[in-house]
Structure 1
Amino acid sequence: MNRHSAPSTAPAGTRPPSPSSWYADSTTPLPLQPALCGRIDADVCILGAGYTGLSAALDLAQAGYRVVVLEAQRVGWGASGRNGGQALPGYGCEPSTLENLLGQDAARVLFDLSREGVELLRTRIARHGIACDWHDGHAHVAVRPRQVRELRAGAAWMAEKYGYPLQWWDRQQLRAVLDSDRYLGAVYDPAAGHLHPLAYAFGLARAALAAGVRIHEHSPVQALVRGTRPRMRTADGEVVADFAVIAGNAHLRGIAPELESRIMPVGTYVAATAPLGQARAQALIGNDMAVADVNWALDYFRLSRDQRLLFGGRASYSRLPPRNLHAVMRRRIRMVFPQLADVPIQYLWGGEVDISLNRAPHWGRLTPNVYFAQGFSGHGVASTGLAGRLIAEAIGGQAQRLDLFARIPHAPFPGGRVLRTPLLVLAMAWYKLRDALW
């Protein structure tokens, strides 16, 4: 089992391009980028070579900025290269949360920006020729009658208040494309979709390199020195720049304590079955959509290009993998697809995503020239690219759109470093019990 924060102990020249996963074994790795050595002057220095950092770097380089990206491990090493691959509009919180925090009008603007994030993702894939297995379509599915009512009401609300059409499928309609008796209905979004996460990260990196961005891998930032020209220091060098961007999410490790206190690393896991064959895979999910239930501890799944079932979930709020994880994932798969009881799991991997206390995005500035984006709360495949673009816009002098996100209030997790994880585990136990009982 791999974790996002697990360090590599191999020599730099022999370190793997990515943690072990089906993703790593099914895409061409990016060539190793050199570690930082010595001092570099730049216009912008970015911490983190995931979707957010690479997206900001690409936009800035195309605008003529000299950009350096510092990555502690390899490109896409964290959540960007290990996630479930489901790209959706919206954020980790419900629209009602943003309405309560900022009002209806601002919440509508934020949702429209999230739709822009999905279109930006599609545009970048097409413009840069990124082979990342994009497929249209996503369904949120209901397990219990209460969830049917909530999904139908939510779809109506999105159409009326947000101008966003979604399709309601009853059980019979859903059953026609999804071969599972577990679900009672679905809200289908034809504008959402799914992709190969690591291939997309590598494609973004190749586009950024072609635009002139310098990426230094195996260059963990040990200190951020704020000032007129911020400095990011590693063990063997430093970058001095006019602007700094923090895009480390769950892996800051002391770089900016005021940011770390407002996110919590949460473990999440994905299994890949043995190949099912084209006929069996198509019978399972006939329209090749991605699927996620709406339980608090959710299951999500889709098909791979080689006809595997990619099945994710089982979030760990204690930062420890669930006990007997392989058996747990097999049991979850059989609950959804009992007809796959004979199909083994061939890959199982995991890592950490960052969640904010209210599950809303946490983007903004630490100082006038130090920007950040975090708190994607398991909903970052599309919104990370949006965050990168808005930070690039702000550095270029157009900060209005980023400033709207900066208005979202974020409190630190209660309990500090010692108690915040146990308190979160207790809270999540309640939500899991609610999912199980009604």
Structure 2
Amino acid sequence: MNLLFANDRAGEYPASYYAATRSDLAPFPALAGAVRADVCIVGGGYTGLSAALHLAQAGRRVVLLEAHRVGFGASGRNGGQVGSGQRLDQVEMEKIAGRDNAHRYWALAEEAKALVRGLIADHAMPVTWHPGVAHACWHDREVRDTHAYAEKLRRDYGYDQLEPLDRAGIRALIGSDAYKGGEIDWGAGHVHPLNFALGLAQAAARAGVVIHEASVVERIAPGAKPVVHCAQGHVVADQVILACNGYLGGLEPAVAAKVMPINNFIVATEPLGERAAEVLAKPVAVADTKFVVNYWRLSEDNRLLFGGGESYGWRFPDIVKTVRKPMLEVYPQLRDVRIDYAWGGTLAITMNRLPCFTRVAPNVLSASGYSGHGVAMATLAGKLMAEALRGQAERFDLMAALPQPRFPGGVALRWPLLVLAMTWFSLRDRLGV
């Protein structure tokens, strides 16, 4: 089964709150016939759109192929949180990469956040940057670790944007008795994710990128000039970028062995009105410390957008039931609140939760597997691949140097093995250990 069509209708955004409040962008035509390009990009999410924009600004002829609509996948469905650092904290990054390179990875992540804010401003996107992402801890030991980590970032990385919170502080912020403490990262933020993707598409098109929607890539013929084949036409290019993330399918088995698609879900309540202050005292986003993370924020019309629960099969479950349970664990006072929207999306994870940057061939690059940390990092990934294709590969190669193990069992058995592992961690969440 093709994940591109397992849970969605061809060429349509899911019935999400984001789709209902998206900015206007007319469809782009499907590919027809033979087309020539300097660079062909497969995938119209943050990675592909950012790469296309940066390449076009450098004078390259770029054709971007999207199977559905731009921003259709995880880029248009996620929680909108723009977090600091890499997906692993700097303690782990120092163990993996050494102290000097850990500082380089931190600097890239800081650039990624600034890139999102800069693109929004430079291209006058209809997107508001809301500062602040809080981290809510379930256990006292997590509070101690979180506060110690904030001090490490201040001392070793010069990052002073973290505000520690004790139990009373987190209770005052999020209106829930579930958590023992936490912090607010005022250097992080949150955005309307689909409108950011649409803003990137508009900016890319204005820069000269030729975008084709409803153009499913069926295969790529390698060579000195790779040929990217769709049912209704093909693109002959000097270079190719794979920006498919969880929807890569069988296009490139070497990447698929290291990048696993999983599903995650969000609901949006009815507008809460004055009750919104019971949920969040400040307009920040929140993520907690469960392995299967709960994350939430208020929309601009004061709906609670709450994400939680994962699945590892092809089909989405009952999303309202899946997400309502963790939402009420955090906010039992919202039991009477109506759910107006419920949607799922497919993202991609890696074994070590670090992104997978790779050279599939000398003229074919891929970046994916952002593991829930993709708004900023995917946008930066596009920029780094654009640099690499222009002969400035140092920063792309730094990201590609991160170790990236294959999932056990290969492409055929990775899914059932992942389900077993995730079921164990989900059980630990439920048991509170």
Q: TM-score normalised by the shorter chain: which range applies?
A: over 0.9
Structure 1 runs not aligned, ≥5 long = none
Whole-Å separation in 1 of the counterparts to 2:41 and 2:254: 18
Structure 1 residues 303 and 218, CA gap change in structure 2 (3 angstroms): same
Q: Which residue of 2 aligns with 1:343?
A: 337
Contact 1:272 1:345 in 2 (8 A): yes
1:286 to 281, 296, 303: 281
Q: Which residue of 1 aligns with 2:229?
A: 233
1:164 to 159, 162, 184: 159
Kindly provide the amino acid, as one letter, of the partner of residue 396 in structure 1. R
Whole-Å separation in 2 of the counterparts to 1:104 and 1:317: 35
Contact 1:33 1:216 in 2 (8 A): yes
Alignment partner of 1:413 is 2:407: yes
Q: CA RMSD in A?
A: 1.6
Alignment partner of 1:94 is 2:89: yes
Does the residue aligned with 1:222 lie in a helix, a strand or coil? strand
Structure 1 residues 8 and 350, CA gap change in structure 2 (3 angstroms): closer
Kindly provide the amino acid, as one letter, of the partner of residue 386 in structure 1. L
Structure 1 residue runs of 4+, over 6 Å off?
A: none
Does the residue aligned with 2:310 lie in a helix, a strand or coil? strand
Equivalent residues in 2 for 1:395-406 (5 A)? 395-406=389-400
Contact 2:7 2:315 in 1 (8 A): no
Structure 2 runs not aligned, ≥5 long = none
- How far residue 5 of structure 1 moved from its aligned partner, in angstroms, is 4.5
Q: Which residue of 2 aligns with 1:434?
A: 428
Equivalent residues in 2 for 1:209-358 (5 A)? 209-277=205-273, 279-322=274-317, 324-358=318-352
Whole-Å separation in 1 of the counterparts to 2:315 and 2:102: 35
Q: Which residue of 1 aligns with 2:6?
A: 6
Kindly provide the amino acid, as one letter, of the partner of residue 352 in structure 2. N
- How far residue 429 of structure 1 moved from its aligned partner, in angstroms, is 2.3
Q: Which residue of 2 aligns with 1:68?
A: 63
Whole-Å separation in 1 of the counterparts to 2:290 and 2:154: 23
Contact 1:246 1:371 in 2 (8 A): yes
- How far residue 9 of structure 1 moved from its aligned partner, in angstroms, is 5.6
Q: Which residue of 1 aligns with 2:141?
A: 146
Structure 1 residues 9 and 327, CA gap change in structure 2 (3 angstroms): closer
Alignment partner of 1:27 is 2:22: yes
Contact 1:5 1:352 in 2 (8 A): no
Which stretch shows the higher mean deviation, 118-127 or 182-191?
182-191
Whole-Å separation in 2 of the counterparts to 1:72 and 1:359: 26
Alignment partner of 1:187 is 2:183: yes
Kindly provide the amino acid, as one letter, of the partner of residue 150 in structure 2. A
Which stretch shows the higher mean deviation, 164-173 or 193-202?
164-173
Whole-Å separation in 1 of the counterparts to 2:186 and 2:55: 31
Tell me the alpha carbon deviations over residues 104-154 of structure 1, each in whole angstroms, 9 at most, x when there is no partner: 211110111001000000000111111123211001110112221221222
- How far residue 69 of structure 1 moved from its aligned partner, in angstroms, is 0.2
Q: Which residue of 2 aligns with 1:127?
A: 122
- How far residue 383 of structure 1 moved from its aligned partner, in angstroms, is 0.6
Alignment partner of 1:372 is 2:350: no
Kindly provide the amino acid, as one letter, of the partner of residue 198 in structure 1. L
- How far residue 339 of structure 1 moved from its aligned partner, in angstroms, is 1.9
Contact 2:268 2:303 in 1 (8 A): yes
Contact 2:224 2:238 in 1 (8 A): yes
Kindly provide the amino acid, as one letter, of the partner of residue 131 in structure 1. P
Structure 1 residues 192 and 392, CA gap change in structure 2 (3 angstroms): same
TM-score for the superposition, normalised by structure 1: 0.94
Whole-Å separation in 1 of the counterparts to 2:278 and 2:180: 19
- How far residue 300 of structure 1 moved from its aligned partner, in angstroms, is 0.3
Kindly provide the amino acid, as one letter, of the partner of residue 356 in structure 2. H
How many residues matched?
Answer: 429
Whole-Å separation in 2 of the counterparts to 1:399 and 1:44: 16
Tell me the percent identity: 48
Contact 1:4 1:351 in 2 (8 A): no
Tell me the alpha carbon deviations over residues 248-292 of structure 1, each in whole angstroms, 9 at most, x when there is no partner: 011112111100111111110000001111x22134212100000
Tell me the alpha carbon deviations over residues 208-267 of structure 1, each in whole angstroms, 9 at most, x when there is no partner: 111110000011111112211121111111111111100001111211110011111111
Whole-Å separation in 1 of the counterparts to 2:381 and 2:389: 12
Contact 1:133 1:305 in 2 (8 A): no
1:58 to 34, 53, 75: 53
Alignment partner of 1:106 is 2:73: no
Tell me the alpha carbon deviations over residues 289-346 of structure 1, each in whole angstroms, 9 at most, x when there is no partner: 0000011011100000111000001012344434x44233222222111221211111
Structure 1 residues 182 and 8, CA gap change in structure 2 (3 angstroms): closer
Does the residue aligned with 2:217 lie in a helix, a strand or coil? coil
